[in-house]
Amino acid sequence: MKSLEGKSFIATLKWSDKGKSGPVSCSYSILPAQGGWLQPQGEQVELRFEFVEVVKTGLCFRISGAPAAGEYADGKLDLSLKNFMGFYKVSEADNRWVVNVTRQVSDTEFDFDWLDKAGNKVGRKDEFIYQAHGANLIVHYMGVYGSGDTGFHARILKWL
């Protein structure tokens, strides 16, 4: 997609998968290492996409929290050991992400497939936490090796 090539921006994202959809948000917690995870529900988080290069599978960006992401502003988006996506203030990894645009809606909106640098598709992941009072508590995260059917929609708020 020529209009994004070489450009950096701040955007919010929505996901859709098997008839469900919602905002991409960020978890917040007062407990250390419990917040900063991308989730498929809640209040949308603003992400900064810094253009890196064109690759075979799409456009490569480094992604971090935008200023409106509060305590996660400038945190680098990376993967945990369980392949969940979260913001890291200290990360030596070359955290590149690929955006493969599937449909341009307007000059500031587009649909896309989201891949990690190894080519794995980003999707929703469910994490079983515990069982309480006969019910399972399942927390949803964004990560790789999740649903292979998850698509994303970006709305660009600001060009950088």
Residue range 107-115: average pLDDT?
A: 96
The pTM assigned to this predicted structure is: 0.90
Nearest CA-CA partner of 47 in 76, 84, 5, 19:
76
Rg of the chain (C-alpha set): 15
- For the purposes of burial, counting CB atoms within 10 Å of the CB of 65, is it exposed (0-12), middle (13-18) or buried (19 or more)? buried
Residue 92 has pLDDT above 80, yes or no: no
Residue 32 has pLDDT above 60, yes or no: no
Strand 96-106 versus strand 109-116 pairing type: antiparallel
Residue range 117-133: average pLDDT?
A: 79
Residue range 50-63: average pLDDT?
A: 96
Q: Where are the domains of the chain?
A: 9-159
The model's confidence at residue 34, banded by pLDDT at 50, 70 and 90, is low
Of 24-38, 66-80, 99-113, 141-155, which range is least confident?
24-38
Neighbours of 5 (CB within 10 A): 10
User: What is the domain class of 9-159 according to CATH?
Assistant: mainly beta
